[in-house]
Amino acid sequence: MTPPPWEAPLRRYPTPYRPASPPTPLGNAGGYSGARLWRIDAPAGPLVLRLWPVDGPGRPSLEIIHGWLARGRDLPFLPAPIPALDGRTLVALGGRLWELAPWLPGRADHFLFEADALTGLVDFGAMGRDTVAADLARLLADALGPDRSARAGALAAYEALRPLRPAESLAIPAFERANALLTAGHWARWHFLEGRRFDDPEAVAQGLRRGLEQLDDLGLMAP
């Protein structure tokens, strides 16, 4: 009988991180990176095992991201990857890359919440160095939509902790327009050109609709 795909990579980790019972497959858990996930109940606590797709980020990029996450491992909402027996945070098997990290509770998205409490930040495959204006533009559009009052309140809360520079404030609307166009474009490329498959059968339609709605909210759709 063919062993389950998670068996070989988990043997590369110390015993406390190996499953006490068969892991629960989660598919891509609503994410869009193409990674496959399994929830694991281990002696060390609940964990998540991730198999990166063939066309996903390579080892150099992921090791940089893992280094950044390791610097914040004392923050309870960051899932710093767990080192394997060889001390590395990536396991390479059959040309694929695996990683193991703590399980963070909350509903699936880049930001995990339980009620109004932030419980985790996840899905770091596209993580890189960028301006905060780009991150804020995307977050405001995805989380708050066209609600200008809520957006102003969110920016005020952000600036209470880290004031924006004038150039950053001016760049947010430009990034928001670019993000709206790219959102629809990404989904069109993934579905029609690359033939990607997602666990949620409505994911493609929802992604295209979200991009088009953002363009319409910004007045960029032709009448």
What was the pLDDT predicted at 221?
Answer: 64
What was the pLDDT predicted at 138?
Answer: 82
What was the pLDDT predicted at 177?
Answer: 85
What was the pLDDT predicted at 215?
Answer: 77
Tell me which of 151 and 55 has the higher pLDDT: 151
Domain segments of the chain as ranges: 7-121, 132-217
- CATH value of 7-121 in 3.30.200.20, 3.40.50.1100, 3.40.109.10, 3.30.360.10: 3.30.200.20
Q: Who contacts 193 (Cβ-Cβ below 8 Å, separation ≥6)? A: none
Rounded to two decimals, the pTM is 0.68
Q: Report, as an integer, the average pLDDT of 175-179.
A: 85
Tokens 């694991």 sit at which residue? 40
Query: Does the pLDDT at position 31 exceed 70?
Result: no
Q: Note whether 77 and 104 are within 8 A (CB).
A: yes
- pLDDT mean across residues, the chain: 83
